[in-house]
């Protein structure tokens, strides 16, 4: 098989923006609003959580624009951390990325696709009667096998070249954006009973949902430091829903005019998604009472809303929408993630086979290694916990990367910066303070989300020295 030595720039601004938006919108917006509402319990704070997350995301994205213009090549955040700090910090990010951040997200979104396909194919519902077999304490369901099949299918398509992946990405992202806009509009225009006034009567009166054994809900007022903890716990879901916007930086080597288009696509993509997320939650507040937002069946908030708007057909419509959304999301994650391992391998810090491109100018070996780890996480049944754990680590690396802008301005002032971080130094500093506060609050109130993820990351320290020594040998 003939090989290519370098990536082919074939993605324009629209394609790059669709990678940003498509990688962000998976299953989270359809589900996590329920948990957020249980934590903060008022319309004001529910929207505030999404606003805070959106502001953080847009600030980070516009800040990354400066870094992407400085280093317009494959690898993205791994490269930025390596250049700002040292190869160890870059490797720790790359290791966490491979071990759980990217692969775990692919697994989680893949299973979400299969679970919602269960609406049409009951055998895919993750229920006791559908267990195929058990491996120790791990139960294997058909849904997990379907999720693996989807991951492998999209991996195979992406090995055929970036153009094939781009067609899927743009088509599915445009489709789900239009569908989401349609759902939001219908939620304001075509409901028999509006709960808008009733829900907004809660204002900023924060309260925590107490759910009895019979499913009934009572509310307990919270404030002060307890409220801050509730906000941090809520943001685990909103940050997961808003994550992966940086995937476009990983494929910089395949983007036309990357110094302009990456920064612009980051801003446009995150802005579009933030608007959609806030609008979707405003729609939930119009369509459903607060208690139902907090406790819909199996946390399927969008399903509950669609059922009110469209009747019995709503469930099917949402199932199709989420399948389209998750399929496109998986494609963006698969496409982008492999470029990080390719760049790490080029530096001698990953399997050397990952440093090669196939005849279609894509890192085929890296794509399949990513698919195998994602498949194992699908089977493990632990990917959900891993994602909760890693939300903490993801934000730490985002904070470190933003600090890297300050470091590189002092360290390499002579470097060309075609695009500079918007609002520097104020807005990047605000992100650092917000991100750091989020991490501190998680350590205080949700240690189960923090220490395991941190341990996974630190396991990369001995691996780095082993890889570095092997590269020298």
pLDDT tens readout for residues 296-307: 887 889 989 999
In degrees and rounded to multiples of 5, residue 205 shows phi and psi of: -80, 90
State how far the Cα of 206 lies from the Cα of 227, in Å rounded to an integer: 7
pLDDT exceeding 70 applies to what percent of the chain?
A: 98
pLDDT, the chain, mean: 90
pLDDT exceeding 90 applies to what percent of the chain?
A: 62
Q: Which pLDDT score is estimated for 128? A: 79
Res. 53 pLDDT band, cuts 50 70 90: very high
Which element (helix H / strand E) includes 456? helix 451-458
pLDDT at 1 over 50: no
Model pLDDT for residues 372-386, shown as the tens digit of each residue: 999 999 888 676 677
State how far the Cα of 245 lies from the Cα of 267, in Å rounded to an integer: 10
Estimate the crossing angle of helix 313-346 against helix 364-380, to 10 degrees. Answer: 130
Burial class (CB in 10 A: 0-12, 13-18, 19+), 264: middle
Model pLDDT for residues 70-123, shown as the tens digit of each residue: 988 878 899 999 999 999 999 999 999 999 889 988 998 898 898 888 888 888
Taking the C-alpha atoms of 218, 220, 226 and 229 in order, what is their torsion angle to the nearest 10 degrees? Answer: 20
pLDDT at 398 over 70: yes
State how far the Cα of 350 lies from the Cα of 344, in Å rounded to an integer: 5
The pTM score is 0.89
Q: What is the pLDDT averaged over residues 420-443?
A: 92
| Cβ atoms < 10 Å from Cβ of 192 | 6
Which element (helix H / strand E) includes 243? none
Burial class (CB in 10 A: 0-12, 13-18, 19+), 62: buried
Q: What is the largest CA-CA distance in the chain?
A: 71
Give CATH superfamily name and number for 13-472.
Amino acid/polyamine transporter I (1.20.1740.10)
Inter-residue long-range contacts of 190-196, CB under 8 Å, 24+ positions, other chains counted: 190/309, 191/286, 191/287, 191/308, 191/309, 194/286, 194/287, 195/285, 195/286, 195/287, 195/288, 195/289, 195/290, 196/285, 196/286
Q: Which pLDDT score is estimated for 84? A: 95
Q: How many Cα atoms occupy the beta-carbon half-sphere of 265 within 13 Å?
A: 31
Q: Which pLDDT score is estimated for 116? A: 85
State how far the Cα of 101 lies from the Cα of 94, in Å rounded to an integer: 9
């Amino acid at each position: 098989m003939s090989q290519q030595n370098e990536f082919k720039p074939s993605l324009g601004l629209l394609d790059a923006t669709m990678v940003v938006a498509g990688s962000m919108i998976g299953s989270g917006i359809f589900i996590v609003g329920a948990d957020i509402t249980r934590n903060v319990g008022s319309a004001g704070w529910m929207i505030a959580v999404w606003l805070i997350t959106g502001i953080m995301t847009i600030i980070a994205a516009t800040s990354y624009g400066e870094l992407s213009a400085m280093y317009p090549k494959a690898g993205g955040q791994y490269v930025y951390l390596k250049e700002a700090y040292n190869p160890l910090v870059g490797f720790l990010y790359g290791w966490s990325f491979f071990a759980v951040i990217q692969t775990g997200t692919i697994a989680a979104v893949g299973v979400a696709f299969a679970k919602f396909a269960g609406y049409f194919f009951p055998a895919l519902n993750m229920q006791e009667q559908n267990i195929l077999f058990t491996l120790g304490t791990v139960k294997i369901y058909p849904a997990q096998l379907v999720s693996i099949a989807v991951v492998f299918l999209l991996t195979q398509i992406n090995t055929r070249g970036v153009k094939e992946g781009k067609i899927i990405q743009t088509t599915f992202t445009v489709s789900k954006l239009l569908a989401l806009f349609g759902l939001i509009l219908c939620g304001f225009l075509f409901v028999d009973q509006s709960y808008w006034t009733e829900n907004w009567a809660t204002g900023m009166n924060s309260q925590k949902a107490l759910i009895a054994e019979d499913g009934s809900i009572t509310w307990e007022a919270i404030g002060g430091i307890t409220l801050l903890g509730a906000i941090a716990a809520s943001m685990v879901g909103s940050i997961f829903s808003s994550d992966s916007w940086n995937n476009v930086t990983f494929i910089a080597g395949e983007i036309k005019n990357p110094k302009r288009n990456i920064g612009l696509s980051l801003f446009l993509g995150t802005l579009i998604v933030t608007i959609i997320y806030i609008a979707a939650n405003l729609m939930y507040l119009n369509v459903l009472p607060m208690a139902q937002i907090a406790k819909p069946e199996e946390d399927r908030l969008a399903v509950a809303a669609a059922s009110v708007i469209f009747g019995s057909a709503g469930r099917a419509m949402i199932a199709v929408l989420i399948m389209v959304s998750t399929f496109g999301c998986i494609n963006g994650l698969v496409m982008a993630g492999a470029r990080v391992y390719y760049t790490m391998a080029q530096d001698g810090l990953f399997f050397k086979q990952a440093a090669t491109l196939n005849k279609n100018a894509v890192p085929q070996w890296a794509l399949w290694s990513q698919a195998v780890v994602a498949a194992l996480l699908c089977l493990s049944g632990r990917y959900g916990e891993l994602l909760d754990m890693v939300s903490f680590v993801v934000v730490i690396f985002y904070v470190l990367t933003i600090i890297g802008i300050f470091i590189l301005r002092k360290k390499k002032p002579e470097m060309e910066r075609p695009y500079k971080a918007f609002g520097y130094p104020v807005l990047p500093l605000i992100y650092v303070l917000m991100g750091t506060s989020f991490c501190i609050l998680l350590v205080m109130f949700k240690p189960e989300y923090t220490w395991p993820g941190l341990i996974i990351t630190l396991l990369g320290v001995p691996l780095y020295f082993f890889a570095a020594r092997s590269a020298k040998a």
